[in-house]
Amino acid sequence: MNRLIYFGTDGIRGRVGITPITPDFVLKLGWAAGKVLSRYSKGRSNQIIIGKDTRISGYMLESALESGLAAAGLSAALTGPMPTPAIAYLTRAFRAEAGIVISASHNPFYDNGIKFFSVKGTKLDSEVEYSIETELNKCLTCVDPKELGKASRIVDAAGRYIEFCKGTFPTHLSLRKLKIVVDCANGATYQIAPSVFRELGAKVVTIACHPNGVNINKECGATNIRQLRAQVLAKKADLGIAYDGDGDRVIMVDHFGNKVDGDQMLYIIAREKLYRNKQLTGGIVGTLMSNMGLVSALKQLNIPFIRAGIGDRCVLAMLKKKGWHIGGENSGHIVLLDKTTTGDGIIVALQILSAMVNNCVSLYELCNDICLLPQILVNVYYSGSDSPLDSDSVKKEAKAVAEELSEQGRVLLRKSGTEPYIRIMVEGKRYDKILYLANRIASAIRSQTK
């Protein structure tokens, strides 16, 4: 497979106003995608569903995509602000040719991106992405006027998706006894998530549910749970739930204010399936970032575990290869293939809530049997085409740290697939030691970026 230029691990992403996130590029991207998808569709459909998060730039990019698709002869069905997993679901429900999400997930408002879903509600194959990039090199042409695509709006999109989410929660259970604080990151879940939990009976306290186009992910949401912790304690809530800007990630907080991450949620969901319904198929797929504590806890239950590469695409590929159903990342991006086709923060939270209600226990108690090792995550900015990870001095320092940790921990260095950062992860038994070791590696990397 040839190297992709624009498509990264999660679609195309960047700063608004800088190629590729410009109106002219996105217009041509819509056209190129339309041409390619028309060839792959074999006449199934000419409809593309387009959703977006709450960034101010979404309006501009939505119009550009719509125009490009129309020029290629495809029609756009617009949903307005909707979580990324909702577009995956609606694409399947409407038998649309594809779904497109305008979002940069957990990034700041000044970034944006374009994600594609196939007719099956899954990420596009690399082969299709390469075909779209190849089409981008051609001159934009317009179909005959009578074949131009049209634009319409799906007026009941939110209601459809709310009912779909509720359908993954056991019908004999209720959330009536729970008070939940929900942090929607001023993003795409701001109307959806509170409604789902309220309609299932919970008392819901909302924060970061007033998007203005520029406050998405700002000091809130899954990447910053300070407000969520404070509100859970202040309101004496049973738990808190935080989403990222597009709703495919979820992080939770127990009634003591303790963070519950993706590794802990994977364990809770796997154990519940194993013990209650005997419906656990195979094992669990994690990533290179998955905590050693998760591996140990699953081993105690005799549940197989395997690591995939970073990113939901790698997790999904491994799940399909193994024939398993549950996988995810400690960031809170979890895939439950027995429920849906992609990471879905609302559906994941509902499975945790189901375990709480089924067992009449708190979220804190559900986490008792998994003990995570401390992890330090350090991001080092870099620019240019040369990666600091190729430096001999960085390799030497990383090797020295790994040897010092021995079997009591591990180190992982990688380039971010969505931002210009080197990600440093050091894991071990003592927080002070791994902090020191992570900063040693960070210093070595910074010396190569000056």
List active site positions.
105
Q: At what angle do helices 392-405 and 431-449 cross, to 10 degrees?
A: 170
- Angle between helical axes of 262-272 and 292-300 (0-180°, round to 10): 10
Q: Alpha-carbon distance 226 to 201, whole Å? A: 26
- Cα of 131 vs its chain's centroid, Å: 25
One-letter amino acid for residue 429 of the chain: K
Read off the tokens for 332.
Answer: 């809170």
203 forms beta bridges with: 179
Q: What is the largest CA-CA distance in the chain?
A: 69
Nearest-CA neighbor of 20 among 91, 82, 94, 104?
104
Q: Which helix (H) or strand (E) holds 127?
A: helix 126-136
CB atoms within 10 A of CB 398: 21
Neighbour order of strands in the sheet with 326-328 = 305-308, 284-287, 326-328, 334-336
